[in-house]
Amino acid sequence: MGSELEPVHQAEIVTELPAPRTNDEHLSGETIADLKRSIADNTDRAYKRWWRMAITWCEREQRTALPMTGQTVAEFIGHLMRSTSTTTGKPYSPNSLDQALSAIRTAHFRAGFEGQPPTRAARELIKVHRQDRAKAGWRPRRAKAVTLDVLRLLLAQCDPNSLSGRRDAAILVLGYGLMGRRSELAAIQISQLAISEDWVTVFIPMSKTDTNAKGEDVDVPRALAPDIDAGRIVALYLEGLREFGVVDGPLLRCIHARGAVGKGMSAAAVGEIVKKLAKAANLTDAERTTAHGLRAGGPTDAAERGVPVPFIAEHGRWSKNSTQVLAYVRPADKRRNNPLLPHKPRT
């Protein structure tokens, strides 16, 4: 009886790996375009600005932009630390330097240099920049949280008899109720909206934390407060749109001077509406009252009521480990659990 193991002929032994083919590291134009769409438009535009700045700096300093060495990246970040923004006239913040670093890594990835360039030295420099600013007395200026009290003042500036006033009121209650990003508000389609007896439900097809675009329904209570009926506010706006024959497409629309309904609004336009209302309401720190303040207002009020962080994070589509949502929750927690508050006797 022969062995079950047959001998291997010498010719079958592979002694050399085949040479790589020229197409193995090639990406088609279509694939590159799809990869670019993986980054939000606003972020992509910012990345392109930083990358253009990096290329210009490299040319001036006679350094190679692609691929960069770790030393070149560190020198560029060091240059930004000592520079001022041509847009704001102020020194670049550590967050801006973080974004510049992300832009450089993204440019390298798109060019086929995955995992490059080394960034450890650059990140250490950004840490030093944060420490220097803290020692100089700098404090972060966050958007003013639009809590319910502020929301009432802004709603008072919205004319319910005009379509633009109804739209502005809808922006406010949906921004607060969804804890929504400007981009999410601008992207809402009429077909994604449902109003029931107790809820205004909005389908969010994708978000920054839903990178696989599974989508989710977000329920906003109609009664945001006893005197704020979100369902009625949104329904009045939809009724006004129907009078102009608008029954589908973008929910938030540009309203022309003569009252005609235009195309959908951009995220930037949503932000301008909130700024305009804050100015009209003569709010303290009106310049800090932005659309992001609507996103911050809901978590702030919820934290004051003692709602657990995971529920707040889930509703607002933050990562469970998000430091941003904690920035809204921690002040309320600190006040509620302050060790110097008068002791309450047990009952």
Query: CA nearest 153: which of 251, 222, 227?
Result: 227
Please tell me the predicted confidence (pLDDT) of residue 212: 72
Per-range mean pLDDT, top range of 111-120, 146-155, 253-262:
146-155
* Residues 164, 62 share a domain: no
Say if residues 81 and 92 touch (Cβ distance below 8 Å): yes
Question: Which CATH number is 175's domain given?
Answer: 1.10.443.10
DSSP 100-134: HHHHHHHHHHHTT-TT-S--HHHHHHHHHHHHHHH
Count structural domains, the chain: 2
Rounded Cα distance between 65 and 60, Å, is 11
Which residues have C-beta within 8 Å of that of residue 302, sequence separation ≥ 6?
311, 312
The answer to whether residue 344 sits within a structural domain is no
Please tell me the predicted confidence (pLDDT) of residue 332: 76
Say if residues 175 and 274 touch (Cβ distance below 8 Å): yes
Q: Is the pTM of this model over 0.75?
A: no
* Residues 131, 219 share a domain: no
Task: Pick the last residue of a domain from 135, 166, 200.
Answer: 135
Please tell me the predicted confidence (pLDDT) of residue 302: 92
For 215-248, the pLDDT digits (tens) are: 889 999 999 999 999 999 999 999 999 999 999 9
* Residues 210, 102 share a domain: no
The answer to whether residue 17 sits within a structural domain is no
* Residues 176, 122 share a domain: no
Rounded Cα distance between 55 and 109, Å, is 16
* Residues 38, 104 share a domain: yes
**Residue 331 predicted with pLDDT over 60:** yes
For 83-141, the pLDDT digits (tens) are: 999 888 889 999 999 999 999 999 998 888 888 899 999 999 999 999 999 888 887 66
* Residues 197, 256 share a domain: yes
Question: pLDDT band at 3, cuts 50/70/90?
Answer: very low
Domain hosting 155: range is: 148-336
Task: Pick the last residue of a domain from 100, 135, 170.
Answer: 135
The answer to whether residue 183 sits within a structural domain is yes
